[in-house]
Amino acid sequence: MAVASQASILAPFVAGSILAFHLYPRLGNGAARLPFVLFLGTALGITAFPVLASILAERKLINTRVGLFAISCAAADDFSAWCVVAVITVIARPGEQEIGLPVRFAALVAYVLVMVFVIRPVARRLFPPNEPPALGRFSAVMILLLASVWTTEALAVHALFGAFLAGLVMPKGGLLEAGLKERLESMTLNLLLPLFFAYTGLRTSLGLLSSIRLWLLCGLIVVVAVASKLVVSVVCVRASPDFSQRV
């Protein structure tokens, strides 16, 4: 699973980075070359985890071996992708902080280590997984979430990475996870997610694709993203004896 998940993000990342390096003179539009190349490579490698989970749930595959394998790979992809996004964000914001780039990298690594090795054990004690999240515990979880978001923003990293880390360190399973999902999932799926897509749509302008050449370049990027991830994923999964025996 680990090989398949990391290969499915590494291959599109490499292919996208090579493609971005060649497209930079045409599409760079004044951006720095390194963030442009890294961003396009990461964009091609990321798996839409919520979309994949929704598809598997609608097809009744979420609890099958194939579905669990796909979800596990996507979760590992998401973790790797958010780490890469955090690094790219730090690189792309060189002038927003007075401290230097190495210091910010060190601060980011230190923050991740603190969240995983300090906050995570504390969270397990403060939020027992077999107890439902009462109002006090729910408020504490929200405070932890907002504090993590604020910290990553202060480190010149996207707020989404802080939210991701906050969810990563929370205890999994039991009444706690079910209660948090019940409180947050309906609002997230029915309100925040549509607002996110609407906001993204408002910021997206198809008018920028003003010529056939740009449409062809857009199609080329989509083909490279789909083909590189699909081919490498199929090869890795087919070559996995453990997966072949189970399926």
List pLDDT tens digits, range 52-95: 766 776 777 766 777 777 777 776 776 677 677 767 776 766 55
Asked if residue 184 is part of any domain, the answer here is yes
Q: Is the pLDDT of residue 242 over 60?
A: no
Percent of the chain scored above 90 by pLDDT? 10
pLDDT above 80: residue 33: yes
236 shares a domain with 168: no
Residue 31 lies in a domain: yes
At residue 186, the pLDDT reads 77
Same domain, 82 and 111: no
Instruction: Tell me how far apart the alpha carbons of residues 210 and 158 are, in angstroms, rounded to a whole number.
Output: 31
* 88/102 same-domain check: no
Reported as a pLDDT band with limits 50, 70 and 90, residue 1 is low
* Segment 154-177 mean pLDDT: 81
What is the reported pLDDT for 101? 62
* Nearest-10 crossing angle of helices 33-45, 2-27: 140
Residues 179, 135 share a domain:
yes
| Residues 57, 3 share a domain | yes
**pTM (two decimals):** 0.64
State how far the Cα of 72 lies from the Cα of 195, in Å rounded to an integer: 27
Say what the pLDDT of residue 29 is. 77
Residue 225, domain member (yes or no): yes
pLDDT for the residue 39: 84
Together in a domain, 80 and 117? no
Evaluate if residue 240 carries a pLDDT over 70: no
Whether 45 has a pLDDT exceeding 90, the answer reads no
Q: 173 and 132 share a domain? A: yes
Q: Are residues 88 and 109 in the same domain?
A: no
Residue 145 has a pLDDT of 92
State the pLDDT at residue 163.
84
Q: What is the pLDDT of residue 118?
A: 93
Is residue 116 a part of any domain in this protein? yes
Residue 189 has pLDDT above 80, yes or no: no
Q: Does residue 212 lie within any of the structural domains?
A: no
Q: Are residues 145 and 81 in the same domain?
A: no
Task: Work out the angle at residue 9's Cα, subtended by the Cα atoms of residues 172 and 24, and round it to the nearest 5 degrees.
Answer: 135
Residue 76: CB atoms within 10 Å: 18
Residue 138 and residue 103 share a domain: yes
Return the minimum-mean-pLDDT range out of 72-76, 162-166, 219-223. Answer: 72-76
Name which of 79, 47, 77 is nearest 226 in CA terms: 47
CA distance 10 to 209: 28
- Under 8 Å CB-to-CB from 132, ≥6 apart: which residues? 175, 176, 178, 179
- What's the pLDDT at 52? 74
Residues 240 and 163 in one domain: no
**What pLDDT sits at residue 142?**
92
User: Is residue 209 in some structural domain?
Assistant: no
Q: What is the pLDDT of residues 81-139, one digit of tens each?
A: 767 776 777 676 655 544 566 777 788 889 889 998 999 999 988 888 888 888 888 89
- Answer whether residue 211 is part of any domain: no
Same domain, 85 and 121: no
Contact 127, 140 (CB under 8 A): yes
Of residues 30 and 24, more confidently modeled: 24
Query: Looking at the 3D structure of the chain, how many domains does it have?
Result: 2
Is residue 74 within 8 A of residue 2, CB to CB? The reply is no
Average pLDDT, the chain: 80
User: Domain range for residue 154?
Assistant: 97-204
Dist. CA 11–CA 227, nearest whole Å: 10
CA distance linking residue 140 with residue 149, whole number of Å: 14
Is 210 among the domain residues? Answer: no
- Per-residue confidence at 2, pLDDT binned at 50, 70, 90? low
